[in-house]
Amino acid sequence: MRALLASSIGVTCATALTLPLAAPAPAATVSAPVAHAAAAVPVEPAGSTQSLPLRPLGGAVPRATGRPSESMTPAAAQGLLRRDSRRFSLVGVVWDDADTELHGTVQVRTRATDTTRWSGWQSLETHNTDHAADAGSPERLSGRVRGSTAPLWVGDSDGVEVRVRSENAGPRSGAADTAPLPAGLRVELVDPGDDPELPGAGAAPATGTPSAGVATPATGTPSAGVATPATAPKPGALPEAAGLSTAAAESSAVNADLAPLGAAEITALSKAESEEQAVVGAGAKPFVGPRPRIVTRKGWGADESLRERAFAYTSTVKAAFIHHSATGNNYTCSQAPSVLRSIYRYHVKSSGWRDIGYNFAVDKCGNIYEGRAGGVTKAVLGAHTLGFNTNSMGIAVLGTYSSKNPPAAAVTAIAKLTAWKLGLFGRNPKGKVTLVSGGSGKYKKGAKAKLNVISGHRDGFATECPGSRLYKKLGTARTSSAKLQGR
């Protein structure tokens, strides 16, 4: 049986490893990744990916209703008939050319493991080329990058069926009006593996004792902006909204299981605190929010052997782009590390990226996770907002928020994270910034775009991301973030 949380969502002990790697890199060029010896110790590899080619669907193609439709040309409909598979929890569809868009619909249905229960048809977000490395970057030119849909979290499954239907596809007589499907279509079935077994996992601290990652190294007292479940929040901290009892209970249960710091973690955290002070500088950047609790890559079980060993940096962080992962909302907070490991594997093994695309992730309970490797205090170059990855960071809220409101805890987490990280680089969350586009479709390459310091993905690219409901909450996040900075 999988460990639902051997580490209590991977947040266990994970926060003991909430450390930046170093101060921001001085004006490193974006075009050439900076090589470093990877500081993280690779965890034992886990998880797997099944890549299954899609085939033309001959004869009649079922509509969303399940009823047969007209005969389709092979170029207009491809898929995979219902079949058994090894276990997986996340599904996506990829194709050969990253510069080719899939104009049409992608739907999947899955069978829960060891049952005969099949889900209904679920749609995958097809316009995912806007979450990618910028054109001309080494990551984009690696020769490994593929086109891909957004992945969908389906839970523990062992059966799959797929259908891909071209836009405007109709009967054979209308084939001339049919947009061809991309070449090399295949479905990717991702198993995230088990949650990590971290040292000290399951050893809950005594009541009122600072938990892992919640203590300052020298004194053992709670560090700035981080309160243990037994302590009161700092003055000015954002209250959790009412109506989130389930999410709050899960989050409290996670925090209660955090293990106490060991000597090695204290030494590492002490170094991290010193480095953060160097980043802030003596009086140079007075508006820096309290540092939030961040679950490290080791905490959520990232297999460091998957990604490229070198890190890539940009020169600064001028803006934060907010995303939703579009992976659906059918996950619990205890499953969030598994969702994150699945997205990571999908981005690297299936889509061909150097690492997970986002710099940070936030789950529905408001837990914050380190994303792309390179150091949480640094200006790590991501692959989240095509055309605007330079001098920005990407934060993905796990879930789909087109028609569902994001939990208040997630919006609060965005505010806390941006107040701290943008503050390290002297940015006002309520301010504006001018970014130069690397070419995004919405802005031509070289165009200057005046954007909010905290923007939605759709502000830089013609996309629905981060979903209408989450996008409407960004004003609240900006105001709260600025207050946490003391503005």
In this structure, the answer to whether residues 350 and 388 fall within a common structural domain is: yes
Q: Are residues 355 and 461 in the same domain?
A: yes
Stretches in the chain below the pLDDT threshold 70: 1-45, 58-75, 128-132, 134, 169-178, 198-285
Domain count, the chain: 2
Query: Who contacts 156 (Cβ-Cβ below 8 Å, separation ≥6)?
Result: 2, 87, 89, 112, 113
Contact 34, 21 (CB under 8 A): no
Query: Given this model, what pLDDT does residue 277 score?
Result: 54
In a shared domain, residues 295 and 376: yes
Place of tokens 């299954």: 52
Is residue 211 in some structural domain? no
Of 165, 191, 217, the residue at which a domain comes to its end is 191
Residue 358 within a domain:
yes
Q: Give the integer Cα–Cα distance in Å for 422 and 285.
A: 10
238 and 179 part of one domain:
no
Cα torsion angle, 456, 459, 465, 470, sign: positive
Q: Which two tokens stand for residue 179?
A: 């947009």
**Is the same domain home to 298 and 429?**
yes
Full domain range(s) for residue 179? 48-191
Asked if residue 204 is part of any domain, the answer here is no
As given in the structure block, the two tokens for residue 448 are: 């200057």
Tell whether 122 is covered by a domain: yes
Cis peptide before 466 (omega within 30 of 0): yes
57 and 21 assigned to the same domain = no
Per-residue pLDDT at 331 = 97
203 within domain boundaries? no
pLDDT of 460: 85
Q: pLDDT value at position 129?
A: 57
Q: Nearest-CA neighbor of 148 among 188, 202, 107, 108? A: 188
Indicate whether 332 and 413 sit together in one domain: yes
- Distance, CA of 423 to CA of 416 (rounded, Å): 11
Final residue belonging to a domain, choices 163, 191, 219: 191
> Do 32 and 77 sit in the same domain of this protein?
no
Domain-located, residue 214: no
Are both 32 and 53 inside the same structural domain?
Answer: no
- Ramachandran assignment for 403, one of left (phi > 0), alpha (psi -120 to 50 degrees), beta (any other): alpha
* CATH code of the domain containing 284: 3.40.80.10
Query: For residue 143, which of 309, 352, 371 has the smallest C-alpha distance?
Result: 352
33 and 61 in a common domain: no
pLDDT value, residue 177: 54
Predicted pLDDT of residue 108: 98
Residue where one domain finishes, among candidates 132, 165, 191: 191
Are both 283 and 388 inside the same structural domain? Answer: yes
- The reply to whether 8 falls in a domain is no
Whether 91 and 25 map to the same domain: the answer is no
Structural domain contains residue 222: no
